[in-house]
């Protein structure tokens, strides 16, 4: 999967992972909802580091 994963700048310049390939379902370890706050900014769950 490492060859298919590319880190690219997002709109604000921070790097964001893009997967250009298939993600096998067996590779999924956890699924969490990604909520938006009132300003439309994603609110990551507490267990996800900010950096």
**Residue pLDDT, tens place only, 30-43:** 898 899 999 999 98
Q: Residue 18's pLDDT is what?
A: 93
pTM above 0.75, yes or no: no
Q: How far apart are CA 9 and CA 14, in angstroms?
A: 5
Q: How far apart are CA 32 and CA 44, in angstroms?
A: 9
- Is the separation of the CB atoms in 50 and 43 below 8 Å? no
**Residue pLDDT, tens place only, 1-51:** 678 899 999 888 899 999 999 999 999 998 988 999 999 999 888 888 776
Q: Residue 1's pLDDT is what?
A: 60
């Amino acid at each position: 999967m490492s060859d298919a994963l590319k880190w690219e700048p997002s709109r604000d310049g921070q790097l964001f992972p893009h997967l250009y390939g298939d993600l096998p379902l067996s590779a999924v370890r956890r699924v969490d909802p990604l909520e938006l706050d009132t300003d439309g900014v994603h609110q990551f769950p507490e267990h996800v580091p900010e950096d």
